[in-house]
Amino acid sequence: MATDTARRTLVVAGNGMVGQKLLEVLVERGATVEWDIVTFCEEGRLAYDRVGLSSFFTGTSAEELSLVAPGFFDSAGLEVHVGDAVASIDTEAGKVVSTRGTRIAYDALVLATGSYPFVPPVPGKDLPGCHVYRTLDDLEAIRADAQGRRVGAVVGGGLLGLEAANALRSLGLETHVVEFAPRLMPVQVDDGGGSALRRRIEDLGVSVHTGIATSEILEGPDGRVCGMRFAGEDDADLPVDLVVFSAGIRPRDQLAREAGLAVGERGGVVVDAACRTSDPRIFAIGECALAEGRIWGLVAPGYQMARVVADRILGGESTFGGADLSTKLKLMGIDVASFGDGFAATPGAESIVFSDPVANVYKRLVLSGDGSQVLGGILVGDASMYQTLVQMVRGDMPTPPNCEELVLPVRTGDGAAVGMGVESLSDTAMVCSCNSVSKGAICAAVQGGAVDVPALKACTAAGTGCGGCVPVVTDLLKLELRKAGIEVRNNLCEHFDYSRAELFDIVRVHRLTSFSQVLADHGRGLGCEVCKPAVASMFASLGVGGGYILERSQAPLQDTNDHFLANLQRDGTYSVIPRVPGGEITPDQLIVIGQVAKDYGLYCKITGGQRIDLLGARVDHLPEIWSRLIDAGMESGHAYGKALRTVKSCVGTTWCRYGVQDSTSLAIEIELRYRGLRAPHKLKSAVSGCTRECAEAQSKDFGIIATEQGWNLYVCGNGGMRPQHAQLLVEGVDHDILIRTIDRFLGYYIRTADRLERTATWLNKLEGGLDHLKAVVLDDALGICAELDAEMDRHVAEYECEWAATINDPEKVARFRTFVNSDEPDPNVVFVAERGQRRPAFSHEKQEVRSS
Amino acid sequence: MTAILDTATLTWQDVCAFDDLVPDRGACALVDGRQVALFRVSPTDELFALSNHDPFSGANVISRGIVGSKGDVPKVASPMYKQSFDLRTGTCLDDPAVSLPVHLIRERDGRVEVAIT
């Protein structure tokens, strides 16, 4: 801790999205301990969501658009001047003067002044009825002015222009878009994409005029706008009542210019990789900054700059090295995406184009000359393959040989897949049962500025109890951010800029076998409790080290459950669950389990998965307990792992009067086939011998129901926190097809799911849903089935009980000790008797036990 | 390691061989009746010693957590509810109001020694 108590002052000029992000990061990182942070907010409103601005016209209030949590500026060390702006900077003295005359000496100054709309210098541009589209005040002015008007036009057919057009449309005006370039969104899409986009927009009743230049805004007899005139001789005048200019942005660099800071030839405050201007005490971020030689007109790079500057102010070394400008957005309900080298600028690049002029879908895929690598693309009308294609561009996912299928419509579809993700939850749905937090409360918190999971936990308490809802909270967060147009990266943790699926492909394709190598080549830092077990699970799924999870370099990566091959309980003891395949167990095995439980004082409970849980085992007893169970012919049940748990079954034709097939034998075969298979989360299965469904197969990750014709396979069901019925994947198939289909389903899930994402959630989020899954595992649409089959065959061939492997290795057994320097047990583990067994004492009971 | 304490007054106790500690995996030692979680962190092999008692769960499990980093801070995450603690100071990174007692630890001639502070 620094002993220097002298406080320093940071002045932030601007409270837009990026300026506010800077404040949030600084507060979160504890900067206010040493810094007084003074913000000047020129607008009469604190930071709000400019990306979602057009929703203002469809009912979203200014308050809902706010990005500043109530009371945010009340915290110690924060001060904000609303309606006041920095007017001048004295760089020598290190002082700013505000418009209202406030003078403040600064130790560091951050310019976050943003941009202003570019208005082409045409006569009449300042007439009443002419507007720009940038701030909430602008929008309020447009709304007030649109009252009683009939026709509106937007100058500019780019991203913002179309947003503005949507706004005019929402206000009930006949809407025209006038674009100088030969097509709409000229920066993001090519002519083909522009045409599809144009037809779709025209279908919505918006008139599009491309390739024409506005030369004059015409004045009517009442002194306000009455029409537009164009430069082309053949272009007739367009009568309009209202004009919105949205023809691009320009950086607000006036303040920097006057202070003598370096600015770019075409504007923008020049900054280095630290986002530092030519004056070392002054930074610039967001749309006023010229970083890497350009203005970054998206919010995500602005946020990156904010984080870099926050880190620099706190003495860090972060740098801004540019950002990926791949974008996917919904404009007036139309999907538009542009990524990588969409215009095929790479020498030798080839394009595959799919164009459906009836449905107005356009897809262009740009490939390297030899077709081996996706370089980029443009998607209009259907951007469902965006994520996959972006991963291919980044090289994180291999480009399949039959690339054309990536842009062709999936042929097996029986209709559109229904989205069942968190979006389908009602606002009142309880997400965090521990703290009674509803979906609505979480979404409101995100809109209120809680833009990451820790912030959401802090302001709603969701996820701070048992933590079971954190995946749902995370999905809601991403959903809200996506709605707000913020690019959501699905990074595993701070050590990797990849999602689990991306990292899995990296590990698989590069055949990486150690965490240190994965971290050195693709990550940073030392790793953590999130990425280490995730990578260890990938190694296990891929058979690294023969699939043995306590192999020397892998042991330190495992969560305590996998490390001790048992489940940690609340008192620090562990539970033991031997595998009982299909729920079938012999009397002799039952006797051994009972005897072991008596000898080690274990509490016994029958689980929901048809097996027996033995609780309260001390770490140092685990190897002895397992030796005895293994001697009796039992093996690990992997109850501690993110792996296959149980395959529940009914007695089927063996005993039941109604059974139509031998469900028990199939359940045992399946349980033995997939035992030990590591996955992003636990896997449960069941086999029912007839449609009475006594094994409850439709609530499992994969469940099988016997019919007279063969087996029906249902997938992605769930009991647990959010019950969900499994969906039918194949019907009436024979044994071999059934097994292969399950192999591929599990393989595809393991490759592509997020960490701790059950199959039900995975399917809900899978683009294309069940139809896509069918295409992949039944029709081999991605050309990966041979690989998935081989991976599962290897798993089956290499499986070994990890408890047997552990007790046969004295060095491994030696790890099962409570203390390195004593054989004593943990004195903090205290039991009390209840209903003829023992259970861990609660803290008030411990005192009684100790004192007696 | 801290240089402020007068090390002459400290009592160092031998707890185990340096090689008994697996890199990046904790172990627990019993020192004067106290449970001390020991960590050997790669790549530098730096040693850390903190209380083994997890204040959030009340169980003695800190030594069974996964070590790693948050930013530049070396940390261990409790295996129970996953709160992280700074290995150097014991401060809980998720709740700075909570911290674990920290002890002194050193390697001498291939042995690990702990001094309760």
Residue ranges and CATH numbers for the domains of chain A are: 8-116+251-313 (3.50.50.60), 130-247 (3.50.50.60), 327-407 (3.30.390.30), 422-483 (1.10.10.1100), 642-800 (3.30.413.10)
Supply the pLDDT for residue A297. Answer: 83
CB contact under 8 A, A494 and B71: yes
Query: What residues of chain A lie within 8 A of the CB of B68, using their CB?
Result: 495, 525-529, 531-532
CB contact under 8 A, B69 and A528: yes
What's the pLDDT tens digit per position in A474-491?
888 888 888 877 777 788
Residue A305 dihedral angles phi and psi, to the nearest 5° = -60, -40
User: Does the CB of A322 have a partner CB in chain B at under 8 Å?
Assistant: no
CB contact under 8 A, B28 and A820: yes
Q: How far is CA A114 from CA A67, A163, A284, A286, B35, in A?
A: 16, 19, 10, 6, 55
CB contact under 8 A, B28 and A532: no
Q: Which of B30, B71, B82 lies nearest to residue A824, judging by beta carbons?
A: B30
User: Does the CB of B28 have a partner CB in chain A at under 8 Å?
Assistant: yes
CB contact under 8 A, B38 and A820: yes
Specify the 3-state DSSP secondary structure of A615.
Answer: strand
Instruction: Give the distance, in angstroms, between the CA of residue A362 and the centroid of all CA atoms in the same chain.
Output: 26
- The residue type found at A134 is R
Is the pLDDT reported for residue A412 higher than 50? no
Supply the pLDDT for residue A357. Answer: 79
CATH 2.102.10.10, domain B28-115, yes or no: yes
Residue A214 dihedral angles phi and psi, to the nearest 5° = -75, 125
Query: What residues of chain B lie within 8 A of the CB of A563, using their CB?
Result: 25, 64
CB atoms within 10 A of CB A191: 11
Q: Are B13 and B117 in contact (CB under 8 A)?
A: no
Residue from A600, A658, A656 nearest A624 by CA: A600
User: Does the CB of A843 have a partner CB in chain B at under 8 Å?
Assistant: yes
Gap between the Cα atoms of B91 and A652, Å rounded: 57
User: Does the CB of A813 have a partner CB in chain B at under 8 Å?
Assistant: no
Is the pLDDT reported for residue A417 higher than 50? no
User: Does the CB of B89 have a partner CB in chain A at under 8 Å?
Assistant: no
User: Does the CB of B95 have a partner CB in chain A at under 8 Å?
Assistant: no
What's the pLDDT tens digit per position in A11-28?
999 999 999 999 999 998
Query: What residues of chain A lie within 8 A of the CB of B23, using their CB?
Result: 556
- CA atoms within 13 Å, Cβ hemisphere of A693: 14
User: Does the CB of A452 have a partner CB in chain B at under 8 Å?
Assistant: no
User: Does the CB of A528 have a partner CB in chain B at under 8 Å?
Assistant: yes
Query: What residues of chain A lie within 8 A of the CB of B71, using their CB?
Result: 316, 494, 525
Q: Which of A527, A560, A818 lies nearest to residue B79, judging by beta carbons?
A: A560
CB contact under 8 A, A568 and B58: no
User: Does the CB of A494 have a partner CB in chain B at under 8 Å?
Assistant: yes
pLDDT above 90: percentage of residues in chain A: 62
Query: What residues of chain A lie within 8 A of the CB of B81, using their CB?
Result: 467
Q: Are B49 and B74 in contact (CB under 8 A)?
A: no
CB contact under 8 A, A557 and B66: yes
Instruction: Tell which wins on pLDDT, A517 or A455.
Output: A517
Domain boundaries, chain B: 28-115
Gap between the Cα atoms of A95 and A107, Å rounded: 9
Query: What residues of chain A lie within 8 A of the CB of B79, using their CB?
Result: 559-560, 568
Query: What residues of chain B lie within 8 A of the CB of A560, using their CB?
Result: 61, 64-65, 79
Supply the pLDDT for residue A58. Answer: 76
Query: What residues of chain A lie within 8 A of the CB of B35, using their CB?
Result: 819, 826, 828
Supply the pLDDT for residue A420. Answer: 43
Burial A19-34 (b: 16+ CB within 10 A, else e): bbbbbbbbbebebbeb
Q: How much is the pTM? A: 0.56
Query: What residues of chain B lie within 8 A of the CB of A570, using their CB?
Result: 57, 59, 80
Instruction: Tell which wins on pLDDT, A576 or A391.
Output: A576
Kindly indicate the confidence band of residue A421, based on its pLDDT and cuts at 50, 70 and 90: low
Give chain B's mean pLDDT.
Answer: 91
Give chain A's mean pLDDT.
Answer: 89
Q: Which of A533, A570, A821 lies nearest to residue B16, judging by beta carbons?
A: A821
What's the pLDDT tens digit per position in A306-329?
999 999 999 999 899 887 777 777
User: Does the CB of B93 have a partner CB in chain A at under 8 Å?
Assistant: no
